Amino acid sequence: MKRTALILAAHGSRRAPSVNADVRRHAERITQLGLFDQVVTAFHQGQPTFAEVLDTITVDAVSVVPVMISDGYYADTALPGALEAHPRFDALSVHITETVGTHPKCVTLARDRAVQLGNDHDLDLSETAVIVVGHGTSRHRASRTATMDLAGALRESAVFAEVHAGFLDDTPPVEGVYEATERRNLIVLPFLIGASHHAARDIPRRLGLDPDSRNVLPISGRVANRLVVCDAALGTHPKIAEIILARALERTPEIRS
């Protein structure tokens, strides 16, 4: 492979350091493979920022993978805008890939994770509904697409009795899952990148579960005569590093002469 740098670009969080740490762990896993001359991270909220990260690059070709669930403002506008405004941008060969959350391998990861949770809790999957929870926002309609697509793909797999989508900041809301299904078992997959307050606290609480102060997930409990199992954010799974790598290798930038 030519001398190439890989940038893992994520939204990140200033209030929850674990979110940025998760992305750095994915970068470390990829670094160990030795496929790139540099593997670095960049954050909208965190250091280095999207606007600063090109200062750290020492080679001429750069693959940038948005470690984000969906298209939207940060993937489509904030990230490319910050990179293109950097004084070095025109001197580098920079390729921004599609987002991690839209890769087909996310379907396999989510399906396998839901099946594992079902097995761990001795659930009959023919009586189990899966709820895919995304963040969503009414400010950018594309932000819900990846969540809806993942729910649709899991539904088509015919492994589970039902599959629905819910959102933290869009419709239908997380709380609406109880209206969407009457199945006696619910598996909830937070389709989020990091171990944020949303994944560890907001989603369980909005489902009627009581997360403890350790933020240990998955969590399970009975709510309205149903067993609800809520997993950790899908983006914290180690296999996300494989999906980041798959995005990066879809097209390796050519070094300019």
Residue 142 lies in a domain: yes
Q: Do 114 and 69 belong to one domain?
A: no
Domain residues for the domain of 58 are 4-101+238-249
What average pLDDT does this structure show over 96-100? Answer: 97
Q: If pLDDT is split at 50, 70 and 90, which confidence band does 254 have?
A: very low
Q: Do 115 and 158 belong to one domain?
A: yes
Q: Do 50 and 85 belong to one domain?
A: yes
pLDDT digits (tens, 9 = 90+) for 198-215: 677 889 999 999 877 556
What average pLDDT does this structure show over 1-10? Answer: 87
What pLDDT is attached to residue 256? 35
Q: Do 116 and 177 belong to one domain?
A: yes
The share of the chain scoring above pLDDT 70, in percent, equals: 92
Residue 256 lies in a domain: no
Q: Are 187 and 151 in contact (CB under 8 A)?
A: no
Q: How far is CA 68 from the centre of its chain?
A: 5
CATH number, position 202: 3.40.50.1400
What pLDDT is attached to residue 48? 97
Pairing of strands 219-223, 61-66: unpaired
Most distant CA pair in the chain: distance in Å? 66
Structure-block tokens of residue 137: 């926002």
Residue 15 lies in a domain: yes
Structure-block tokens of residue 240: 């996300």
Q: Return the ∠ at Cα 240 (arms to 237 and 246), rounded to 5°.
A: 165
The residue that leads in pLDDT, 197 or 21, is 21
CA pair distance 83, 3, nearest whole angstrom: 20
The residue that leads in pLDDT, 125 or 213, is 125
Q: Do 81 and 118 belong to one domain?
A: no
- Tell me the Ramachandran region of residue 185: left when phi exceeds 0, alpha when psi lies from -120 to 50, beta otherwise: beta
**Backbone torsions φ then ψ of 206, nearest 5 degrees:** -70, -15
What pLDDT is attached to residue 257? 31
Q: What kind and span of H or E run contains 182?
A: none
Residue 71 lies in a domain: yes
> What's the whole-number average pLDDT of the chain?
90
Q: Do 31 and 145 belong to one domain?
A: no
CA pair distance 255, 169, nearest whole angstrom: 41
Residue 91 lies in a domain: yes
Task: Mention every residue, 6+ apart, whose C-beta is less than 8 A from residue 59.
Answer: 3, 4, 5, 37, 38
What pLDDT is attached to residue 255? 35
pLDDT digits (tens, 9 = 90+) for 28-48: 999 999 999 999 999 999 999
Q: Do 176 and 242 belong to one domain?
A: no
The residue that leads in pLDDT, 200 or 186, is 186
Q: Are 30 and 213 in contact (CB under 8 A)?
A: no
The β-bridge partners of 6 are 39, 63
The total of structural domains in the chain comes to 2
Q: Do 110 and 85 belong to one domain?
A: no
Residue 254 lies in a domain: no
Is the torsion defined by CA of 99, 100, 101, 107 positive or negative? positive
Q: Do 107 and 186 belong to one domain?
A: yes
Q: How far is CA 165 from the centre of its chain?
A: 15
In eight-state DSSP terms, residue 141 is: G
pLDDT surpassing 50 at residue 155: yes
Beta strands in 46-138 (DSSP E): 61-66, 93-96, 128-134
Residue 255 lies in a domain: no
Lowest-pLDDT range of 69-78, 113-122, 197-206: 197-206
What pLDDT is attached to residue 195? 64
The share of the chain scoring above pLDDT 90, in percent, equals: 73
Q: Do 189 and 242 belong to one domain?
A: no
In eight-state DSSP terms, residue 249 is: H
What pLDDT is attached to residue 248? 95
Q: Do 40 and 121 belong to one domain?
A: no
Task: Mention every residue, 6+ apart, whose C-beta is less than 8 A from residue 189.
Answer: 110, 113, 114, 130, 131, 132, 133, 231, 234
Q: Do 134 and 81 belong to one domain?
A: no
From residue 90, how far is each of 42, 61, 84, 175 by CA, in Å?
Answer: 19, 11, 8, 47
Residue 43 lies in a domain: yes
What pLDDT is attached to residue 233? 92
